[in-house]
Amino acid sequence: MAGSAFYVPESVMAIVAHPDDIEFSFAGTMARWARAGARICYVLCTSGDVGIADLSLTREQAAAIREEEARKAAEITGVKEIVFLREPDGMLQPTLELRKKLVREIRRFRPEVVVTGDPTVVWAGEEYINHPDHRAASLAALEAVFPAAGQPHLFQEIEQEEGFKAHKVRKVYATTWDHANLYVDITDTIEIKIEALRAHKSQMGDWDPADRIRQWAAERAKGKEMLYAESFRVVTLVDDQTWARICCGQD
């Protein structure tokens, strides 16, 4: 799927654990979709309040800093809506309660595509273990997408109390290194990705991420007809014919 035409959904929801996860992982793709006119919403399960190793700050102060950084990064990328669930940072679990919160956001926003991580990834190279919050957020996102969000008998109180009806997501994009079936060319948006990541000043410190981000993106693009890429495992849950009926309001 590396050489296929660039698919632009009408609406996209990204679900991740921490304020900088999108910028490290797939902000180049978000920027391309934003440029093309897609409606995009970021859902951050935590506010990253233990991610600033400075005991002079309270967790509440750290959360405020990181949320503001996330808003700036989203703005740079062209994303106008961001939701903070404010789950406990460093202790995130894929609970039924979190699943319900995500189902509510999916039914409210009604995304065509949901983008998240790969919950099966534990070993990430020789110098990093995938953060448990990343795995928890990704698993909760997948369990919210399928089948919960599209099942009207699950979490019926969401519709009864707020009017948000069941919604089936068309596609799921899971960012991944090893099991990708789609490579998105981000050559034209990699500088936006880098600038958005720089917005997370509390995490960057004196480090400029530009060279590392270009290196990673070049490695993903190797052998493809592109200079820089982001890679995903894509699952299509609703076929084109059925989606056309849903979009036309016939289902």
Alpha-carbon distance of 203 to 51, in angstroms, equals: 8
The amino acid that residue 60 corresponds to is E
Alpha-carbon distance of 162 to 86, in angstroms, equals: 21
pLDDT of residue 3: 46
For the residues 1-24, what does the mean pLDDT come to?
89
The end-to-end CA distance of the chain, in Å, is: 30
The amino acid that residue 113 corresponds to is V
Q: Strand order in 39-46's β-sheet?
A: 81-87, 39-46, 11-16, 113-116, 171-175, 229-236, 182-185
For 193-243, what is each residue's pLDDT tens digit?
999 999 999 999 999 999 999 999 999 999 999 999 999 999 999 988 888
Given its phi and psi angles, is residue 249 left (phi above 0), alpha (psi -120 to 50 degrees) or beta? Answer: left
Count CA atoms within 13 Å of residue 192 on its CB side: 21
Q: Copy the structure tokens of residue 233.
A: 């495992």
- Residue 248 predicted with pLDDT over 90: no
For 170-195, what is each residue's pLDDT tens digit?
999 999 988 899 999 999 999 999 99
Given its phi and psi angles, is residue 94 left (phi above 0), alpha (psi -120 to 50 degrees) or beta? Answer: beta
